[in-house]
Chains A and B, each alone.
Chain A
Amino acid sequence: MIKLEKRAQPSRTLALSTPLIAVVITMIAGGLLFAALGKNPFEAIGTIFWEPLFGEFAFYYRPQLLVKGGPLILIAIGLSLGFRAGIWNIGAEGQYIMGAICGAGAGLAFYPMESIFIFPIMILAGALGGWVWAMIPALLKVKFGTNEILVSLMLVYVAEQLLASVSLGLLKNPQGFGFPGSRNLQEYASAHNAELITGTGMHWGVLFAFIAVIMSYVLLNKHILGFNIRLTGEAPRAARFAGVNPTRLILFCLGTSGALAGLAGMFEASGPAGQISIDFGVGYGFTAIIVAFLGRLHPVGILLAGLLMALTYIGGEIAQSNMGLPAAAIQVFQGMLLFFLLALDLLTNFRIKFAVKGAA
């Protein structure tokens, strides 16, 4: 019989090592899954984790790590603030889309004018777009006590419809021969989120992601606002007693996560994606939830988790083209990772004891 015994003190060692254990177990389970799909599990795991970093074409894939990791980290940092406080924004995908629409829209409004002010305006517009979209569940929660999980999620579907609408209407490229989608921002110098250092994948969005990691670390560990966020998540009643204003906290956490998701969307639309199109949303907003948990809601953890998750995306694409591994298999793989992590979390706070059945 297995018994759980609560630890007096959460184990720090295990808190740090469970994500790694979860990755290893996921590799094993994922290998079994790939084997079941008729693929060589060792080759598949190798392709996903080794090929992008050290393979023949690593020079091409390595920059992709930052390109894919940047938005994931940026969004996950924002989400982690709310998750820590028990405020569940799961509609980051919608905020990401709205940030992209607003940011790209602001840039296209100036087309074809060239000015150094255009890109900063786009950044502001992108952040604002995501912020506004996140303020809807925030205000509804504050005013009416409406569940932010469901509202933020419903708004993802609304944002997807808006994306379709502007791709076919408002932002449609007038010279696009009737194809849906906006002008290509990569061809509009003032609005292009270009690589900052050629060949690294480093663009403005990645830089913002790194800054967000540092700011969030300082906030959570050095600042009273970060303390209040943690306190609210750990013991809401104690937070009230400590004088934390829950309304302001909800507005701050949801607003910040929305703005960061919006920024991620804007940088994606003006950089790697290049345009607003119907299939612009690729699920970064949802994957970022996994990233946030995998990183244990800790800024540095999120940085590493974001890069790891980017690796599985890139590796998954390689496995898809080289081995015919279905794209969905990678999605399952990522889902498994979150499962194992949540299950292993138990070890941090509990000791598992194996007792002989029938004692007593």
Chain B
Amino acid sequence: MDLSAINPVLLIASLMVAATPLLLAAVGELVVERAGVLNLGVEGMMIVGAIGGFAVSVESGSPYLGLVAAMAAGAGLSLLFAFLTQFALANQVASGLALTLFGLGLSALMGQGYVGIKPPALGNIHIPVLSDLPVIGPILFGHDPVLYIGIALVAAVWAVLKYSRIGLVLRAVGENHEAAHALGYNVIRVRVLAIMFGGACAGLGGAYISLIRVPQWTEGMTAGIGWIALALVVFASWKPWRVLLGAYLFGGINVLQLNLQAAGIAIPVEYLAMSPYIITILVLVIMSADKSRAPASLGRIFHASQ
């Protein structure tokens, strides 16, 4: 075992990379849940985004086009969920599960021809001087653009929810859909848009894995990150900045266990590999004491009866 092989600067830089897909998916789901909808299909939307983005990048040669395609794929898939839950009034838990099962199958089907291919690379940004600074450079100024978009997205979601009219309406819909309807807000429209936003974020998060973090395509490569993103929203008590904190925490644990595996620590690989999931459970247990912050209409079906 050689722990000195773990470089703390690289560790922090890579934990930010590891956290980004989780962050993107979770901040999207946060918006969905604040609108009162529980979409358990995050994993499915992520994996479809992962292959959708991957395929378009490979075919077009442009990773940016791939990222856009991933968002479109995630949002497109989320429309299925939106249709089921908002128009067909289906149970949200069952519909979300269906979305994940369907998404996993669909991605495997789409990815048939893409196993073992290397996608076009999305370069890291390079700011002269700043990026070359020791320690701070690689941590703060040497990443790919999507990572910064992720952080900006958290800030944007926070500001919109807190200060804007649309954020207020979204929170109102999630809090009490009957009252929002009585005041003349279109509950269904707000929710469908929120679901699509969540889908686009999940799709982008998935593509981040297949295009930037790994980067290649393998079946089922999201490996539960979508589910951890759902847990993260609970962990964050539906607050954007705490999603960022939580994502970096999980990212850190994941990178650390990978580093420990590489360093050949005396713990079997399987036990290290299961640690992120066990820690997720532990965090859920700790956070479940605080239930009051969940949007009051979360998961309830809305039908304007009169």
Contacts and interface: CB of A to CB of B under 8 A. Distances in A.
Q: Are chains A and B touching in the complex at the 8 Å CB cutoff?
A: yes
A117 to B, nearest CB: 32
A90 interface: yes
Contacts of B98: 290, 335, 338-339, 342
Residue among A6, A162, A165, A349 having the largest count of chain B Cβ atoms under 10 Å: A165
Majority DSSP secondary structure for residues of B touching A: helix
Contacts of B281: 136, 140, 146, 150-151, 154-155
B4 interface: no
Given A150-B230, A286-B101, A331-B108, A140 B285 contact: yes
A147 B277 contact: no
Contacts of A344: 88
Interface stretch (B12-20, B201-209, B267-275): B267-275
Contacts of A332: 102, 105-106, 109
A328 B108 contact: yes
Contacts of B268: 165, 169
Given A334-B105, A335-B98, A4 B270 contact: no
A148 B10 CA distance: 36
Interface residues of B, number: 47
Interface in A291-338: 293, 326-336, 338
Contacts of A335: 98, 101-106
A144 B270 contact: no
B274 A161 contact: yes
Interface residues of A, number: 50
Given A154-B278, A328-B108, A334 B101 contact: yes
B110 to A, nearest CB: 8
Interface string B77-95: 0001001100011110111
A343 B284 contact: no
Contacts of B90: 342-343, 345-346
Nearest to B287: A146
A345 B93 CA distance: 14
Given A155-B277, A157-B224, A335-B106, A293 B112 contact: no
A339 B109 contact: no
B288 interface: yes
Nearest to A86: B93
Contact of B277 (A145, A154, A290, A327): A154
A244 B106 CA distance: 42
B165 interface: no
A289 B277 CA distance: 22
A176 B285 CA distance: 41
A158 interface: yes
A14 interface: no
Nearest to A88: B93
Given A6-B303, A161-B274, A335-B101, 4 more contacts: A146-B288, A153-B227, A326-B112, A328-B219
Interface of A: 4, 6, 37, 83, 88, 90, 136, 140, 144-147, 149-151, 153-155, 157-158, 161-162, 164-165, 168-169, 286, 289-290, 293, 326-336, 338-339, 342-346, 349-350
